[in-house]
Amino acid sequence: MHNRPSENEYGGHFGAYVRLVPEGNIVETLAAQERDTLGLLNAVPDSRGDFRYAEGKWSVKEIFGHIIDTERVMSYRLLRIARGDETPLPGFDQDLFMKHSVFGQWSFTQLAEDYSAVRKATLTLLKGLPEEAWSRRGTASGVCLTVRALAYVIAGHERHHVAILRDKYSV
C-alpha cells in the first residue's frame, strides 16, 4: 500500500529525495521517521544549537526549522493535488524563508513540538486520502508529480538533512 512511486510520477530535483526513501509503506516510514527525528532533536545538547560547520551555513536549529517549513510546504502541495486542484504551484525560496524565521531563538523543545505537530498533520492527511488520490498529478516548482511522490519527497528531504546533520554537524 502506497509504495514507492515510479519514475514517471516525479521529475527534476524531487527524484533525489524520492530515491533516499527505503522500500515500504510510506505512511509507516513517515511515522517511524518521526520517532527517529524526535529522538535526534531531544539528544542534541543546547550548546550545539547555533553551531554552523562553515560561514554562511545554517545552524543546527535552522536546519531543523527548514525541515519543518519544507514539510509544511510539501504537505500543502500534496493536499491541493490530492483534492484535484490542477493549479500549478510555485516553488519557494528556502533562503528567504530562513531569513524571516526565528528558529535560532527557539529551544530544541519548541522545535520538537512544532516538528511533531507538522508530522502528525501530514500523517493524518495521508491516512485520510482515498486510494485514487495517491495517483493524482499536479505541478509544483515547474515539475509534474503525484501525491504519492510528494509523500516520498517529504520523507527523503528529511533524510537528506538528517544525514547532513550527522555528517557535517556531528549531531
The pLDDT assigned to 3 comes to 83
Handedness of CA 68, 72, 162, 60 (dihedral sign): negative
Closest to 79 measured CA to CA, from 152, 147, 142: 147
Which class for 74: exposed (0-12), middle (13-18), buried (19 or more C-beta within 10 A)? buried
How many C-beta atoms lie closer than 10 Å to residue 84's C-beta? 10
Q: Per-residue pLDDT tens for 2-36?
A: 789 999 999 999 999 999 999 999 999 999 999 99
Q: What fold, for 7-168?
A: Four Helix Bundle (Hemerythrin (Met), subunit A) (1.20.120)
Q: pTM, whole model, 2 decimals?
A: 0.97
pLDDT under 70: residue ranges of the chain? 1
DSSP string, 124-171: HHHHTS-GGGGG-EEEETTEEEEHHHHHHHHHHHHHHHHHHHHHHS--
Q: Give the pLDDT score at 16.
A: 97
Residue pair 20/158 in contact (Cβ under 8 Å)? The answer is no
Give me 122's grid cell: 501530514
Q: Which three cell numbers stand for residue 61?
A: 536549529
pLDDT value for 1: 58
pLDDT at 9: 97
